Amino acid sequence: MMYSKALQAIAPFILLTMFGGVSARVVAAKEPLPTVYLEEMTSPELHERVLAGVTTVLIPIGGTEQSGAHMVLGKHNVRVKALAGMIARELGNAIVAPVVAYVPEGDIHPPTSHMRFPGTISIPVSAFESLLEGAARSFKQHGFHRIIFLGDHGGYQKIIGKTARQLNQEWASDPSCRVYALSEYYQAGQTTFAEDLKARGFNEAQIGVHAGLLDTSLALAIDPKLVRVDQLGGNKKPSEQEGVRGDPRAATEELGEIGVKRIVEASVQAIRKLSPLDSAPFRNPGSSKKNLDPSR
C-alpha cells in the first residue's frame, strides 16, 4: 500500500521526465514568429535585429479619409500596415515602421477633395515632406541601409518620390543608405488588380477609382471589419456626392485576396531587385499606359 501511494506521488514527475522534451517541442512549435513591427520591439531588440542583418525598413504611408458610408476612415492605415507586415515577413530582412496616418488630403478652407467630408484629416505638403525626411534620417542614423516608402494612396505618390530623390542626392557621397518610393506597391494594387477584375467580367464603372469594387474588396480581404456590409446591399449605387467613385456592391473578400497577393508579390520582387547604390529610387507609375487615379 505504501509503495502504491509513493508511486502515485512521483508519477507526475516520471511522466514529466519521460515526455518533457516532447512537451517542450510542442510549446516551441506554437510560439509565434518574431514580430516585424518596430512598435512591438524594445530598443535593444531592434538593435540586435539590425546587427543580425535586418537593415531594410518599410515605412507604410496611409491616410485618414472618407470612403463613403460603407468603409471606415482609417482604411488606408489598416491596409498598408497589414500589407507591409506581409511583405516584411516574405523578405525576411525587413521591419515595419509605424504607419504615417496624416497626409495631404486637400485644402481645408475652403475644403476640397476628401476634405469635403467629415473625418478626413489633411496636412500641408511641406509638413508631410518633413515628416518623411525625419523618419528616413532617423532610420539611417540607426543603421538601416534601405528605407522604403510604401504609399497606399494615390494623391501623394509624386511627393514621396520627390522626397526619396532629394534624400538620395543629399546622401550621394554616402553609399551606406538609400531611400526608395516603391511605386510597384501602388501600381500592383491598382492597375494590375484592376486588370484581374476585368478578366473576371467586371467593368471600369464597377471597379471605380475610390471606394468602388476594387477598393472595397481589398479592405474586406485585409479585415472585414473595415467595411459596413449592411451598407452595400440594395439596388442603389452610391454616388460621387456620397464620396464613392465606383460600385462596391459586388465586392468580396475572395476578390480582395487576389489584389493582396498581387501587391505582396510585386513589392517583394521589386525590393529584391533593388541595389543600395541605386541612384534612381523612384519608379514612375506613369510608365503604365493608363494613368493611376490619385483619389484612392
pLDDT at 232: 85
User: Full-prediction pTM beyond 0.75?
Assistant: yes
Phi, psi (deg, nearest 5) at residue 117? -120, 140
Cα separation, 269 vs 263, in Å, equals 10
The pLDDT value given to residue 236: 87
Q: How many residues does the chain have?
A: 296
Taking the chain (296 residues) in runs of 10, the rounded mean pLDDT of each run is 48 47 49 89 97 97 97 98 98 97 96 96 98 98 97 96 98 94 97 98 97 98 96 85 95 98 98 66 39 55
Backbone phi, then psi, for 4, in 5-degree steps? -60, -45
DSSP string, 109-167: TTT-GGGGSTT--B--HHHHHHHHHHHHHHHHHTT-SEEEEEE-SGGGHHHHHHHHHHH
- Here the cell at position 146 is 534601405
CB 180 within 8 A of CB 164: yes
Distance CA 129, CA 31 (A): 40
Q: Give DSSP secondary structure letters for 247-280.
A: -GGG--HHHHHHHHHHHHHHHHHHHHH--TT-S-
Of 254, 56, 213, nearest in space to 150 by CA: 56
Q: Where are the beta strands (DSSP E) in 193-252?
A: none
Q: State the pLDDT at residue 263.
A: 98
- pLDDT the model gives residue 293: 54
The pLDDT, as a whole number, for residue 295 is 59
- CA nearest to 227, candidates 238, 236, 218: 218
For cell 487615379, what's the residue?
A: 293
